Structure 1
Amino acid sequence: MSIRFATAEEIADWDKKILANPDKGNLLQSKEFADIKQAGGWKPNYVMADNLALMILSKNVLSGGTLWYIPRGPGVVNTTELRSVLPELKIFAAKHGAFAVKIEPELLWNDETERQLTDMELVKAHRVQPGSTVLINLSPSLDDIMAALNQKARNAIRRAERDGATVEAVKPTAANCYKFYELLSATAENKFGIHPFEYYEKSWKDYSAAGMGQMFFAYSGKDVIAAAYGIVIGEKSVYKDGASVRERPIYGASHLLQWHVIQWAKQQGSKVHDLYGVPASDKVDDKSDPYYGIGTFKRSFNKHVTDYVGTYDMVVKKSTYNRWRRFGERLTLGLHWRLRHENWY
């Protein structure tokens, strides 16, 4: 396998490159996501491993050295494909000064896959992106999609409509972005980390400008009571951000809001809708899990939880990596959280 940095022409056509990957592309491997992370201090590197497109983020760390991170990648669909790329990727990373490569391919978790990843000398790492999710099949008709939803979700959608909730697709103006962020901050309540306002504002505006994203508000009268942002890339859509007021003046408004996101995503060509981020299937009843509340909401659409293998590190320079794992990562993430109250990754 030949690994090299992508040419300027390939980078200009990057999203088409990742859509040609075996996994049919992932939002977090897109050029738009790379630009957003660059604004937050990460350096995007566009790499071609034969025909496999890899967007690799890099950042220097306090304990010394450079960490590489492939968000939701490499874009493979089985361990055989992953095994074929790792040896040359390790050599390439060493040549360019990385002490480790953090990967999180969307491979389904099971004991055998976990064993194979260990055999590849990959080290299980702290989770960066959510390791579990709920997926909704958008290939059927809207009537069939509605019929396939759990009864709780169907009832909530209908009740919200009866009680006067309305949903509108809105533009990501400064005022709308700020309103969304207010709701998002209240929803997080220190249970999980969020980025600063500027990060989300850039994200929502950039995805909308690229024709990939749409912001939605749910209203009770003239009051915004819930917000959601959907993104489509290729045949996949993602419910990336969502929030609601605590009081919930209209039961089911968030369900109705999500139903509008689903309809929009299907119109844009999505065949599978990712609700993005729930507790693992064996922890769905654990109220101490930071994703318990939003997980309960998302599972009301589909009880089945899809578990991925999660985040692994490929060690390139052992001594530097050991410093990172012993104290560097903990100090970096902890200091960043205390100073800025946001995720470092």
Structure 2
Amino acid sequence: MPESTTQPVDWHRPSNRGFPAAPGSSMSQSVRSSQPTRTRFFAQLPSPVPQRRRFGPPAWWSIMRLRSATPEEVARWDTLVLGNPGGGDLLQSTFFAEQKRANGWVPRFMVYDGEPRIHALFLVKKVYGLGQLWYCPKGPGVDDAGILDAIADANADYARDHREVFLFKLEPEVPAGSPLPSSFIAVQPVQPNVHTIIVDLAPDEEEIFASFRQRGRRSVRKAEKQGITVEGRPATAETMELMYDLYRETAERGGFYLRDLDYYRHFWSSAAERGFGSFHFALRDDEPVAGIFVTRFGTKGLYKDGASSQAIGNTGAPYLLQWEVMKHLKSVGVTSYDLHTTPPPEAMEDKDHPSYGLGQFKSGFSNEIVSFVGTVDQPVRKLPYYLWERIGERVALSLSYRLRHRLFF
């Protein structure tokens, strides 16, 4: 096996995520740390496919091999994903594969054969003139950055025989600051929970509640005294329209992009039908004032979608709603609850940070921020990646929104 060549994370020319801003606006310009020439850019890129050494095994030899899953493995896919070292993630499931298939991605169920064996869902999309982009949402499912060297080698080896692939885009959930393979380029995140708070639901309820910060405990008790109640509701058309109305009101107040109702309706109903998600609402005078759609996969829970109306007032209802959701998740075997997105630790008190409000709310349950390395690119074709990074990605994001009114990723 070749020697491990790793480097610390270094953000590399991030580009805007989400829907494109109006042309000419400051947000419509990519955020770039530098503008190297094409020759200099190529020189900076890692060699996508290692060359053979003069002696010993070839440099592309790896303890892992990337291959397509067998039909038998696909039939047991969710169980196999839950057995990954990282414990599995809903975005690596067959459920999510079908969600993204409906939005133009082609799911590829792949296996890294080695020790350990890792099952990885890739979402593949053809980029006109460049080739195939392979995106692995919240994966591959590793818990040790040391495995990433073997994964990088396996990807490069696979690309030698599949020249249509020009880019692997990965999201391994390993701690921020972990050394990464030299062929990885850290970029702006696709999934938002690079920084998050994860509540441990393994202890008993009294211990969990006692672990909250004083602000969180007081807010829960305040909501109870003011008569706020919490109830779960089935994923009916009426429930989904109610949740979307609350979500739209929240988006208008917060100024963030909201996907269309059809996208959420498909996601919510499919997740609920397969036992992966449920709706919960906080009621004030019997009227819903806040809602949550929470997902679960194995022993992991995720605060997927949350919304509220202005009628919520200063009641503490969101805190009580989260607490009741935690108790529900614990009752069905979930042992960790991801509150899904906060500012980075150093920006938690920065009032100008776009996620400041979310951070202040979620830190009522814990002040321990968990940070991951986020999204990384592994280019395996230099020229197509150069074109993708320079203009292709911006064009793809823009066209997806303007023509389909949907996000690219």
Normalised-by-shorter TM-score class: over 0.9
Cα distance in 2, alignment partners of residues 150 and 6 from structure 1: 45
Cα distance 1:302–1:194, how it changes in 2: closer, same or farther (>3 A)? Answer: same
User: Which runs of 5 or more structure 2 residues have no equivalent in the other structure?
Assistant: 1-63
For residues 225 and 318 of structure 2, the distance between their equivalents in structure 1, rounded to whole angstroms, comes to: 14
Q: TM-score, normalised by structure 2?
A: 0.79
1:105 — aligned with what?
A: 172
User: What's the CA shift for 1:69?
Assistant: 0.5
1:270 aligned residue: 334
Query: In structure 1, how many angstroms separate the alpha carbons of the residues matched to 2:317 and 2:229?
Result: 8
2:243 maps to 1:197: no
Closer/same/farther in 2, CA of residues 95 and 185 from structure 1, 3 Å limit: farther
Per the alignment, residue 190 of structure 2 pairs with 128
Aligned-residue Cα RMSD (Å) equals 1.7
- The yes-or-no answer on 1:282 pairing with 2:349 is no
1:242 counterpart (289, 292, 306): 306
**Are positions 1:7 and 2:70 aligned together?**
yes
Letter in 1 for 2:150: S
- Alpha-carbon distance between aligned partners in 2 of 1:338 and 1:250, rounded to the nearest angstrom: 39
Cα offsets for 1:87-139 (capped at 9, x unmatched): 112232453422100011111112xx2xx31x422111121012111010111
> Number of matched residues?
340
Q: Deviations over 1:243-281 (max 9, x none)?
A: 111342351111111111101111111111100111111
CA shift in 2, pair 1:60/1:192, >3 Å: farther
Aligned-residue identity in percent: 37
What's the counterpart of residue 375 of structure 2? Answer: 311
Q: Which has the higher helix share?
A: 1
Distance 1:142 1:109, change over 3 A: same
Alignment partner, residue 235 of structure 2: 172
Q: Deviations over 1:55-75 (max 9, x none)?
A: 000112256322110011111
Give the Å deviation of 1:342. Answer: 4.2
Q: 2:357 and 2:129 mapped to 1: Cα distance?
A: 35
Q: What are the residue-to-residue correspondences of 1:1-345 with 2, within 5 Å?
A: 1-50=64-113, 51-62=117-128, 64-93=130-159, 95-96=161-162, 97-110=164-177, 113=178, 116-117=179-180, 119-130=181-192, 131-189=194-252, 191-249=255-313, 251-339=315-403, 342-345=406-409
Aligned amino acid, residue 220 of structure 1: R
Larger radius of gyration: 2
Structure 1 unaligned residues grouped into runs of 5+: none
- State the alpha-carbon separation in 2 of the partners of residues 61 and 169 from structure 1: 42
Displacement of 1:287 in angstroms is 3.2
For 1:301-322, what per-residue CA distance to the aligned partner results, in whole angstroms no more than 9, with x for missing partners?
Answer: 1111111111100011110011
Moved more, 290-299 or 122-131: 290-299
Q: Distance in 1 between matches of 2:135 and 2:259?
A: 18
